């Protein structure tokens, strides 16, 4: 019901919404919870385990009960707290964890079985037979117990991540936060003020209270107007600071467009990383309930929430209400509700010496509420007098207050533990916690408005003074209520019926006592045994009460019992927000060569090589899969000429007087002797002696060198060079920089390679002037270019490089000329076959566990010292190694990569393993399958027969062991 | 005779505009990496002063004179932008042409900083990142160079990543524009 004259919703505008298909109406400014309450809907959900009817408990983000699914389709949003969800026109919400409907939930049979389903039930009952857990018990339990579900489809909504920086981050915008922000901003600091609510003001918007002689919400409006007018203040509503991390970094979730029907492209949520020099935590405090029999009936709420719904939304769950409290604050609820014209039938205060602060309201000092009546909503409460006499009152709503817990969670995110304050019966932040963070107001245990204003101002001033700003506090604190809240602790009312502590996980007082009885006496064990404090609310309304009861049951005091660990996030964050931008192709950058579009025009399928995209083959008419295309491209290169984009290989430009010596250090073989205009193959070792990468380095001029790396290891090699330079070559004249992207480079390979090049080069080359392994400057149409006579295919081949701007044009030119000669472009598949025929290695062979010796290049490191040389000589890296060999089938059959090698007569089991294959292909040149692999002592076993077994693919082939190089072993074709 | 046609790194990808924010390909300038040899930084400064009237920049900074800029790009490394390198420089520094290795993208408009706040993990407020600041940083997952323009920022990323950089920036621009419409 709505209460006339109360609330700050816009009653002139009506918003339609639905809950479980029923149509309702609310107003702008409502939350889903307040709108449902105003429409008389009290039952909002079913509990996790027993499917008990539950209603709204709080008016905050700590809500354990009123979880709903908002929206439909792929992007539906489960476990949305109705207390946080703002109302918009057309909002569709559905209840969760019920079947078939919320009011008739057949799973509620669990509640009848409750005596058997207490703490530890699953552990005790479903232990055996062991296999039944995963297949039978767990699926059934999961169906019966649970929260809302995702759609299972990809969420098409936009999410976002962002960074922000400030001098002072103020977390919370109640009286303390507003004062901290104002004082710091007036001092000139860059301030970010976050509130998890849509409006700034915190509790001042939910109380009938004066600040500075005016109603609280008007004082808030004044401060806000001032902050809005300052360009050093950033106001972030709907933003929950969720975690404190190293270096003054805070995580925060901004709910950007959950409050509108159509975001029109705006993100749903934004996950912020805020880096703050200083921060003030002014997150307030959360009221805690008192446990008593059947205290989970819909209509039983926190007293502060009952008051909050009245003042904020003009909403109440019924006309007949009562309040049960152990502190003065509960009296304010009774007072305010009575003033609003509700029939407050009882103010029950467990303190026998309490005095009523609620005027005419019937007052029951020393009494307690020990039970409730009703099923799907509250219809009455049972009171017990100090002398044991009982009374039953008809009520529709009951406000309960057991005191307040400061919201100190963030202070514990880096390992600090809160400390117990007996006077307020609550944990407060310890003296030292998160560096740079101070706590002010209720979050610090200051429970009066004046205390909040004062602490906030002081914390704000102190924080920015440390940063060098001049901040004034004196005479700046507005007049406000400063009456302390008196309280006498009461955690649970003894008596019959289940007294609920954790509403979200269905944990009762009895469960906690049971855990203690079974010696789960540490608070962390109790939590895991009972599930208290888990799930979306993380026990915000139950943690302290539960551990107080545990303390009592184990005969310890509360500080000794301690709390469980608070970890980020403070409240739930969608993974979609933290991973924003990372879906699909957004996971990593894509790198494209200059010939990419041309390859796509030829319908070449792309393969990923690191971040690069490279064409795997270039199908021509009639070729329906890769093999015919690959075979054709291989023959084309062997017989005519082929063109391949090799720009993706890493290119590192090195200059300086000490480059030769530097290269001798990083390469296993010698480079300092290389003459300008010549190129050499090199092998690079890791410090541990294993092979890291290979490639060629060209000496372009006396002091100018160009190193190439494999595509995949370009970054690793660059990092390695940086390390070698800083660790071993300090002061040497060596300078290097990546030029991978500067040059578009194309391999031109085949018997007609030189004919093709002479077609496009401004000055022709010949074998004498440009022999194998030569390099030099050339020009194409006046464009400066570099030419290298190197070959991966084993053919007479070159690589020609031009500045990348000309890459696309040169590719088109080379391909057109190649086709005129009966050749054309070739892709990764053909490239791979060509090199397997030649026994050339790739990272399939130098996979991180092979040494120079293993790949037959052991002699390379004999000449001089180099990185990795000493470690390569370790015992175990020298003798009885699996060594690189070639393999061909003896009498047909298939060869695969990843197969294992055995002696022909041996059983193909692990114990008899003699090695494995790394690369395999059909060689169109040789007309048979060929493979490369590593075989125990393989260098000495050429000519032997081995058995290749691929258990995964069911392949068993007898092979002849050969040298790795199967085609043109003398290399005559390279030099023609 | 053959005539190779040059293609700019962001060919066909820009301009992109959302609201008052635009992303365009920046001027196609000469980029030259300068890495002073051991003990030659003072001489390179003199050479730069003589040729262009600017200094070798301090870490995280850039220097400007006329249409020439010298942008810090890493440890012992800066890019000379907008002018051909004079012969003298190669005596004191490793000189490498980088003109084709980078895509230059200019993000301009009042919300340019808001857009980059979605992508770049740096404080880009004027007090922390002024006109003479230069950074090597990330844009999403892509490594970039970044400095200010009069009305926005200049982003220099790997040429091969042009498409990803434009796409991610455009995405952030769209989100920022849509947010503005929400308020």
Q: What does the domain layout of chain B look like in residue ranges?
A: 16-28+101-182, 31-97
Average pLDDT, chain A: 94
Taking residues A881-888, what's their average pLDDT? 97
DSSP annotation of A478 reads: P
What Cα–Cα distance (Å) separates residue A526 from each residue in A539, A543, A552, A567, A568? 13, 11, 13, 17, 21
Query: CA of B174: which chain A residue's CA is closest?
Result: A265
Cβ contacts of A498 within 8 Å, gap of 6 or more: A114, A293, A294, A508, A509, A510
Query: CA of A803: which chain B residue's CA is closest?
Result: B100
Q: Give the per-residue pLDDT at A772.
A: 97
Quick one: tokens of A567? 């970890």
Using an 8 Å CB-CB cutoff, list chain B residues near A163: 117-118, 120-123
Split at pLDDT 50, 70, 90, the class of A105 is confident
Q: Give the per-residue pLDDT at A135.
A: 72
Q: Nearest 5°: CA angle at B97, between B92 and B101?
A: 140
Taking residues A913-925, what's their average pLDDT? 98
Domain A160-285+406-466 and domain A289-402 have a common topology? yes
Q: Give the per-residue pLDDT at A145.
A: 63
Query: CA of A163: which chain B residue's CA is closest?
Result: B117
Q: B101 vs A741: CB contact, 8 Å cut-off? A: yes
Q: Which of B80, B100, B169 is most worth mutating to test chain A (most A CB atoms within 10 A of its CB)?
A: B100
Instruction: Give the one of A165, A586, A780 whose C-beta lies nearest to B128's C-beta.
Output: A165
Using an 8 Å CB-CB cutoff, list chain B residues near A591: 158, 160-161, 164
Q: A581 vs B8: CB contact, 8 Å cut-off? A: no
Taking residues A310-316, what's their average pLDDT? 97
Q: Give the per-residue pLDDT at A47.
A: 87
Distance CA B89, CA B35 (A): 10
Distance CA A346, CA A392 (A): 11
Nearest-CA neighbor of A930 among A902, A903, A957?
A: A957
ipTM of the complex: 0.97
- CATH 3.30.1360.120 matches A596-648+742-835: yes
Instruction: Give the one of A589, A592, A739 whose C-beta lies nearest to B101's C-beta.
Output: A739
Distance CA A725, CA B94 (A): 15
Is residue A590's pLDDT more than 90?
yes
3-state SS assignment for residue A699: strand
Nearest-CA neighbor of A287 among A57, A84, A453?
A: A57
Distance CA A828, CA A617 (A): 6
* CATH number at A289-402: 3.50.50.60
3-state SS assignment for residue A700: strand
What is the secondary structure of B124-168 as a DSSP string? -STTTS-TTBEEEEEETTEEEEEEEETTEEEEEEEGGGHHHHHHH
List Cβ<8 Å contacts ≥24 apart for B126-133: B128/A165, B132/B61, B132/B62, B132/B63, B132/B64, B133/B60, B133/B61, B133/B62
Distance from CA of B164 to the nearest CA of A (A): 6
Distance CA A500, CA A504 (A): 10
Q: Residue A156's CB: how many other CB atoms inside 10 A?
A: 9
Percentage of chain A surpassing pLDDT 90? 89
Taking residues A775-803, what's their average pLDDT? 97
Q: Which residue has the tokens 């391949």?
A: A644
Give the number of C-alpha atoms closer than 13 A to the C-alpha of residue A531, restricted to the C-beta side.
Answer: 20
Distance CA B181, CA A45 (A): 35
Using an 8 Å CB-CB cutoff, list chain A residues near B37: 656, 733, 735
Instruction: Give the one of B5, B76, B142 whose C-beta lies nearest to A589's C-beta.
Output: B142
* Contact assessment for residue A299 and residue A40, using Cβ atoms and an 8 Å cutoff: no
Cβ contacts of A581 within 8 Å, gap of 6 or more: A159, A160, A161, B140, B168, B171
Split at pLDDT 50, 70, 90, the class of A133 is low
pTM of the model: 0.93
Instruction: Give the one of A163, A735, A741 whose C-beta lies nearest to B35's C-beta.
Output: A735
Using an 8 Å CB-CB cutoff, list chain B residues near A714: none
Q: Which of A88, A158, A163 is most worth mutating to test chain B (most B CB atoms within 10 A of its CB)?
A: A163
Q: Which residue has the tokens 């004079």?
A: B86
Is residue A612's pLDDT more than 90?
yes
Query: CA of A264: which chain B residue's CA is closest?
Result: B178
Give the number of C-alpha atoms closer than 13 A to the C-alpha of residue A955, restricted to the C-beta side.
Answer: 19
DSSP annotation of A848 reads: S
Distance CA A915, CA A756 (A): 43
Instruction: Give the one of A165, A612, A737 whose C-beta lies nearest to B33's C-beta.
Output: A737
Distance from CA of B37 to the nearest CA of A (A): 6
Nearest-CA neighbor of A497 among A485, A484, A510, A506?
A: A510
Q: Give the per-residue pLDDT at A755.
A: 97
Q: Chain A neighbours among B 118-157 (CB < 8 Å)?
A: 118, 120-123, 125, 128, 140-142
Q: Give the per-residue pLDDT at A333.
A: 98
Distance CA A359, CA A113 (A): 45
Query: CA of A593: which chain B residue's CA is closest?
Result: B160
Cis omega (within 30 of 0) for bond into A129? yes
Architecture of the CATH domain A490-556 = Orthogonal Bundle (1.10)
Using an 8 Å CB-CB cutoff, list chain A residues near B168: 581, 586
Q: Chain A neighbours among B 60-119 (CB < 8 Å)?
A: 76-77, 93-102, 117-118
Q: Give the per-residue pLDDT at A920.
A: 98
Domains of chain A, residue spans: 10-153, 160-285+406-466, 289-402, 490-556, 596-648+742-835, 650-738, 880-975
Q: B175 vs A591: CB contact, 8 Å cut-off? A: no
Split at pLDDT 50, 70, 90, the class of A473 is confident
pLDDT per residue rounded down to tens, chain B (183 residues): 678 999 999 999 999 999 989 999 999 999 999 999 999 999 999 999 999 999 999 999 999 999 999 999 999 999 999 999 999 999 999 999 999 999 999 999 999 999 999 999 999 999 999 999 999 999 999 999 999 999 999 999 999 999 999 999 999 999 999 999 887
Cis omega (within 30 of 0) for bond into A948? no
- CATH 3.10.20.440 matches A10-153: yes
Taking residues A213-233, what's their average pLDDT? 97
Distance CA A217, CA A209 (A): 9
Q: B9 vs A804: CB contact, 8 Å cut-off? A: yes
Cβ contacts of A841 within 8 Å, gap of 6 or more: A694, A855, A884, A932
Q: A160 vs B93: CB contact, 8 Å cut-off? A: no
Q: Give the per-residue pLDDT at A155.
A: 86
Q: Give the per-residue pLDDT at A126.
A: 61
Q: Residue A441's CB: how many other CB atoms inside 10 A?
A: 35
CATH class of A650-738: alpha beta
Distance from CA of B159 to the nearest CA of A (A): 6
Q: Residue A528's CB: how many other CB atoms inside 10 A?
A: 16
Distance CA A474, CA A897 (A): 78
**Burial zone of A191 (CB within 10 Å; 0-12 exposed, 13-18 middle, 19+ buried):** buried
Split at pLDDT 50, 70, 90, the class of A128 is low
Q: B118 vs A806: CB contact, 8 Å cut-off? A: no
Distance from CA of B25 to the nearest CA of A (A): 14
Is residue A545's pLDDT more than 90?
yes
Distance CA B30, CA A655 (A): 20
A717, A720, A721, A722 alpha-carbon torsion, rounded to 10°: 130
Q: Which residue has the tokens 């792929």?
A: A74
Instruction: Give the one of A158, A190, A738 whose C-beta lies nearest to B175's C-beta.
Output: A158
pLDDT digits (tens, 9 = 90+) for A684-732: 999 999 999 999 999 999 999 999 999 999 999 999 999 999 999 989 9
Q: B94 vs A783: CB contact, 8 Å cut-off? A: no
Q: A740 vs B101: CB contact, 8 Å cut-off? A: yes
Quick one: tokens of A712? 């995949």
Correct CATH for B16-28+101-182 of 3.30.470.20, 3.30.300.30, 3.40.50.300, 3.30.1360.120: 3.30.1360.120
Q: A267 vs B120: CB contact, 8 Å cut-off? A: no
Is residue A488's pLDDT more than 70?
yes
Q: Which of A468, A737, A781 is most worth mutating to test chain B (most B CB atoms within 10 A of its CB)?
A: A737
* Contact assessment for residue A450 and residue A481, using Cβ atoms and an 8 Å cutoff: yes
Distance from CA of B102 to the nearest CA of A (A): 7
Q: B178 vs A263: CB contact, 8 Å cut-off? A: yes
Distance from CA of B72 to the nearest CA of A (A): 14
3-state SS assignment for residue A913: coil
Distance CA A837, CA A637 (A): 13
- Contact with chain A for residue B5, Cβ under 8 A: yes
Taking residues A936-957, what's their average pLDDT? 97
Q: Chain A neighbours among B 9-38 (CB < 8 Å)?
A: 9, 33, 35, 37-38
- CATH 2.40.30.110 matches A880-975: yes
Letter string b/e over residues A488-518, b meaning 16 or more CB atoms within 10 A of that residue's CB:
ebbbbbeeeebbbbbbbbbbbbbbbbbbbee
Distance CA A382, CA A367 (A): 10
Q: Which residue has the tokens 């372009």?
A: A700
Distance from CA of B103 to the nearest CA of A (A): 10
Taking residues A631-653, what's their average pLDDT? 98
Nearest-CA neighbor of A58 among A536, A493, A527?
A: A536
Using an 8 Å CB-CB cutoff, list chain A residues near B38: 731-733
Q: Give the per-residue pLDDT at A143.
A: 67
Distance from CA of B52 to the nearest CA of A (A): 23
pLDDT digits (tens, 9 = 90+) for A925-935: 999 999 999 99
Nearest-CA neighbor of A539 among A427, A679, A454, A435?
A: A427
Cβ contacts of B90 within 8 Å, gap of 6 or more: none
* Contact assessment for residue A236 and residue A195, using Cβ atoms and an 8 Å cutoff: yes
Using an 8 Å CB-CB cutoff, list chain B residues near A190: 125
* Contact assessment for residue A571 and residue A255, using Cβ atoms and an 8 Å cutoff: no
Q: Give the per-residue pLDDT at B59.
A: 97
3-state SS assignment for residue A594: coil
Using an 8 Å CB-CB cutoff, list chain A residues near B100: 741-743, 803-805
* Contact assessment for residue A650 and residue A711, using Cβ atoms and an 8 Å cutoff: yes
Helix A175-186 and helix A216-228, axial crossing angle in degrees, nearest 10: 30
Distance CA A767, CA A278 (A): 71
Q: Give the per-residue pLDDT at A563.
A: 87
CATH topology of domain A160-285+406-466: FAD/NAD(P)-binding domain (3.50.50)
Q: Residue A417's CB: how many other CB atoms inside 10 A?
A: 15
Work out whether strand A900-902 and strand A915-923 pair parallel, antiparallel, or are unpaired.
antiparallel
* Alpha helix stretches (DSSP H) within A250-343: 303-308, 329-339
Q: Give the per-residue pLDDT at A535.
A: 86
Q: Give the per-residue pLDDT at B2.
A: 75
């Amino acid at each position: 019901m709505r209460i006339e004259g109360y609330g700050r919703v816009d009653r002139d505008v009506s918003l339609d919404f639905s809950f479980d298909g029923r149509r309702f109406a609310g107003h702008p400014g409502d939350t889903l919870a307040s709108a449902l309450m105003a429409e008389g809907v009290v039952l909002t959900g079913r509990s996790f385990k027993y499917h008990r009817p539950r209603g709204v408990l709080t008016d905050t983000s700590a809500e354990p009960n009123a979880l709903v699914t908002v929206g439909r389709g792929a992007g539906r949003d489960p476990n949305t707290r109705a207390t946080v969800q703002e109302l918009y026109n057309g909002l569709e919400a559905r209840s969760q964890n019920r079947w078939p409907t919320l009011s008739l939930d057949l799973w509620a049979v669990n509640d009848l079985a409750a005596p058997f389903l207490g703490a530890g039930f699953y552990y005790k009952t479903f232990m055996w037979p062991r296999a039944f857990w995963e297949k039978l018990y767990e699926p059934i339990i999961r169906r019966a117990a649970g929260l809302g579900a995702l759609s299972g489809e990809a969420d098409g909504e936009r999410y976002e991540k962002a960074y922000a920086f400030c001098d002072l981050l103020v977390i919370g915008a109640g009286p303390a936060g507003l004062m901290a922000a104002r004082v710091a901003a007036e001092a000139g600091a860059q301030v970010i003020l976050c509130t998890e609510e849509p409006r700034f003001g915190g509790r001042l918007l939910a109380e009938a209270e004066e600040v500075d002689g005016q109603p609280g919400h008007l004082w808030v409006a004044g401060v806000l107007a001032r902050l809005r007018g300052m360009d050093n203040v950033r106001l972030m509503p709907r933003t929950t600071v969720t975690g404190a991390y190293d270096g003054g970094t805070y995580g925060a979730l901004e709910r950007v467009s959950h409050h509108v029907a159509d975001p029109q492209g705006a993100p749903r949520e934004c996950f912020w990383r805020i880096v703050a020099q200083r921060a003030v935590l002014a997150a307030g405090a959360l009221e805690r309930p008192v446990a008593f029999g059947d205290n989970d009936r819909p209509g039983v709420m926190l007293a502060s929430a009952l008051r909050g719904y009245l003042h904020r939304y003009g909403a109440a769950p019924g006309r007949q209400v009562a309040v049960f409290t152990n502190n003065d604050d509960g009296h304010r609820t009774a007072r305010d509700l009575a003033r609003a014209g509700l029939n407050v039938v009882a103010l029950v205060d467990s303190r026998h010496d309490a005095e009523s602060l609620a005027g005419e309201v019937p007052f029951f000092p020393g009494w307690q509420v020990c039970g409730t009546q009703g099923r799907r909503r509250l219809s009455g409460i049972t009171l017990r007098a100090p002398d044991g006499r009982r009374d039953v009152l008809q009520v529709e709503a009951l406000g309960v207050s057991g005191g307040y817990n400061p919201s100190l969670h963030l202070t514990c995110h880096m390992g600090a533990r809160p400390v117990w304050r007996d006077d307020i019966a609550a944990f407060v932040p310890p003296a030292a916690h998160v560096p740079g963070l101070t706590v002010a107001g209720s979050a610090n245990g200051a429970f009066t408005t004046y205390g909040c204003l004062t602490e906030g101002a002081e914390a704000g001033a102190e924080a920015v003074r440390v940063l060098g700003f001049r901040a004034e506090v004196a005479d700046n604190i507005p007049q406000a209520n400063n009456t302390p809240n008196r309280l006498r602790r009461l955690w649970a009312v003894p008596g019959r019926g289940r007294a609920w502590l954790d509403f979200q996980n269905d944990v009762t007082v009895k469960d906690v006592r049971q855990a203690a009885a079974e010696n789960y006496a540490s608070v962390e064990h109790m939590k895991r045994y009972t599930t208290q404090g888990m799930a979306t609310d993380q026990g915000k309304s139950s943690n302290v009460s539960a551990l107080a009861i545990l303390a009592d049951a184990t005969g310890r005091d509360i500080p000794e019992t301690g709390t469980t660990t608070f970890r980020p996030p403070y409240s739930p964050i969608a993974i979609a927000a933290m991973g924003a931008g990372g879906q699909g192709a957004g996971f990593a950058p894509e790198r494209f060569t200059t010939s990419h579009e041309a390859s796509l025009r030829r319908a070449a399928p792309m393969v990923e090589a690191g971040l690069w995209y490279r064409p795997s083959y270039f199908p021509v008419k009639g070729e329906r899969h890769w093999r015919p295309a690959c075979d054709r491209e291989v023959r084309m290169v062997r017989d005519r000429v082929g063109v391949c984009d090799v720009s993706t290989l890493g290119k590192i430009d090195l200059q300086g007087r000490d480059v030769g010596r530097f290269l001798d250090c990083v390469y296993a073989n010698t480079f300092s002797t290389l003459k300008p205009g010549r190129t050499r193959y090199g092998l690079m070792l890791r410090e541990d002696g294993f092979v890291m990468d290979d490639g060629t380095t060209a000496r372009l001029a006396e002091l100018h060198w160009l190193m190439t790396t494999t595509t995949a290891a370009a970054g690793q090699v660059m990092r390695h060079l940086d390390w070698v330079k800083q660790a071993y070559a300090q002061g040497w004249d060596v300078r290097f920089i990546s030029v991978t992207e500067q040059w578009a480079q194309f391999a031109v390979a085949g018997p007609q390679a030189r004919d093709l090049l002479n077609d496009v080069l401004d000055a022709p080359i010949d074998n004498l002037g440009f022999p194998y392994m030569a390099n030099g400057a050339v020009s194409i149409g006046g464009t400066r270019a570099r030419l290298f006579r190197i070959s991966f295919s084993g053919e007479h081949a070159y690589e020609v490089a031009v500045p990348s701007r000309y890459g696309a044009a040169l590719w088109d030119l080379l391909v057109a000329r190649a086709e005129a000669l009966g050749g054309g472009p070739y892709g990764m598949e053909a490239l791979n076959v060509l090199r397997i025929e030649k026994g050339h290695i790739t990272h399939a062979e130098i996979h991180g566990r092979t040494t120079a010796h293993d790949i037959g290049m052991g002699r390379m490191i004999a000449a001089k010292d180099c990185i990795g040389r000493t470690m390569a000589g370790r015992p175990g890296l020298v003798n009885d190694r699996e060594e690189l060999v070639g393999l061909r089938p003896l009498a047909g059959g298939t060869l695969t990569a990843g197969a294992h090698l055995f002696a022909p007569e041996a059983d193909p089991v692990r114990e008899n393993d003699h090695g494995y294959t790394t690369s395999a292909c059909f060689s169109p040149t040789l007309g048979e399958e060929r493979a490369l692999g590593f075989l125990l002592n393989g260098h000495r076993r050429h000519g032997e027969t081995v058995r290749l077994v691929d258990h995964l693919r069911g392949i068993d082939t007898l092979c002849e062991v050969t040298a790795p190089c199967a085609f043109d072993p003398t290399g005559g074709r390279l030099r023609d | 005779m053959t005539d190779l046609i040059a293609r700019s790194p962001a060919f066909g990808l820009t301009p992109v505009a959302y609201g008052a924010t635009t992303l365009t390909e920046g001027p196609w300038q000469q980029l030259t990496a300068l890495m002073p040899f051991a003990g030659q930084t003072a001489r390179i400064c003199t050479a730069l002063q003589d040729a262009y009237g600017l200094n070798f920049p301090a870490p995280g900074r850039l220097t400007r004179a006329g249409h020439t800029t010298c942008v810090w790009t890493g440890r012992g490394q800066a890019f000379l932008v907008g002018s051909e390198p004079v012969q003298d420089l190669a005596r004191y520094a490793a000189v490498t042409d980088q003109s084709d290795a980078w895509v230059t993208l200019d993000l301009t408009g009042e919300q340019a900083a808001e857009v980059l706040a979605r992508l770049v993990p740096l404080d880009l407020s004027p007090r922390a990142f002024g006109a003479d600041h230069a950074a090597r940083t990330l844009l999403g997952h892509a490594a970039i160079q970044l400095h200010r323009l009069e009305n926005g920022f200049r982003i220099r990323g790997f040429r091969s990543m042009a498409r990803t950089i434009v796409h991610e920036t455009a995405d952030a621009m769209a989100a920022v524009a849509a947010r503005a419409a929400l308020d």
